[in-house]
Amino acid sequence: MEYSPVCHSLYAPWSSPVKKKLLLLSIMFFIWVYMLYSCVGYCSTMPSLVVEGYRGKETGSGLGKRTESGGGGGGGRTDLVSRLLAKPQPWEDIESDYEEPSSIRTAASRDLLNNELDTDWDEQHQQQRAPEPSAMSSFSNGSGSKKLPQAIIIGVKKGGTRALLEFLRVHPDIRAVGAEPHFFDRNYDNGLEWYRDLMPKTLEGQITMEKTPSYFVTREAPARISAMSRDTKLIVVVRDPVTRAISDYTQTLSKKPDIPSFESLTFKNRTTGLIDTSWSAIQIGIYAKHLDNWLQYFPMDQILFVSGERLISDPAGELGRVQDFLGLKRIITDKHFYFNQTKGFPCLKKAEGSSKPHCLGKTKGRTHPNIDPEVVQRLRDFYRPFNMKFYQMTGHNFGWD
């Protein structure tokens, strides 16, 4: 090869060993910067990929599609990344022990006898510790994911909703939160993500449920639940409205023994016999009136009415209807129940997550006070036309008259 002055001039500056090392280090540095840049770009796309996968799963599973607030795009991914980096607020998934609180508010007005006295301990605790939803709870992991409920027990108070929920939790395809969220009546401003974060994790094919009996009589609840999902299945446990009213009063009496008598609260004027429908214990039992409100947003075939009386006399039969309504295999049968003679209602032979028999707490099955038979008859006469209307609307005679 001929000697070339040009080649020599190009090669000479890099012939020094020190300069060769500098060149090698420079190349390695640029490679490292490129790999770091590529990794950051890939990692920044991960939250959106996971969320899209989660949304796809949630849309394709359960009892129907759910509409959720918030859209996609870069803004959503940026918001999600910031939430992932934020420190989540503490929260406990409180399992109700089915006991009523020992203390209540001390105000003595009739308004307190309506709704304020019906505040359970678990509800108070939830409101005190309202959580910011953790973004990590919104998408799938190895142990399932949190979803908005596909079925809700919406009522009624003192009808047997707690018993129904505990019976249903025996089913392996049902996951339900123990405490009453009161989202659609008291905590709606907290948003759907807050509500979702209260729910237990479910696997593919499992149903998420909750129960809050006051929804049935809350004017805004039907529209709010419909806005979450029009496919939500609704369950209402109903009971003889006279017996239900007495049971409601008995619960209040156990918390505040100095309240007026049942008879004096029942009437606006005892002499004329005019029933006071402003008292919630009376108002809740006008089922036809409340059902009218729900039918503005949900078709009748999306609402199941469970008999509180049959839930005691034939729990397996009523649970069979509920399982059919939810599209589940009939797994809960007679073998799961035994009748507790002391309490006067059925108990589970084996509760969820336990090998021991389980009955509801001491606050369930309280002895009712003696009520003047004349007052009871006045109430039966008052409820009769509403009951007849309710029978017609539901196509089922509950036999309360």
Residues known to be catalytic: 158
H-assigned helices in 259-307? 262-266, 280-283, 287-294
Any binding-site annotation on 162?
yes
The dihedral formed by the CA atoms of 297, 301, 302 and 306, expressed in degrees to the nearest 10 = 120
H-assigned helices in 96-220? 110-111, 121-128, 161-168, 192-198
Any binding-site annotation on 270?
no
Any binding-site annotation on 74?
no
Any binding-site annotation on 239?
yes
CA–CA separation, 185 and 209 (whole Å): 17
CB 237 within 8 A of CB 161: yes
Any binding-site annotation on 367?
yes
CB 365 within 8 A of CB 101: no
CA–CA separation, 89 and 3 (whole Å): 76
**DSSP three-state, residue 105:** coil
Closest CA to 319 of 309, 302, 306: 306
Any binding-site annotation on 125?
no
Any binding-site annotation on 256?
no
Any binding-site annotation on 366?
yes
Any binding-site annotation on 67?
no
Any binding-site annotation on 271?
no
Strands (E), 122-225: 145-146, 151-155, 174-176, 201-202, 207-211
Any binding-site annotation on 87?
no
Instruction: Indicate the angle between helix axes 241-255 and 373-394, nearest 10 degrees.
Output: 120
Any binding-site annotation on 119?
no
Where is the binding site, in residues? 158-162, 239, 247, 364-368
Binding-site positions for 3'-phosphoadenylyl sulfate read 158-162, 239, 247, 364-368
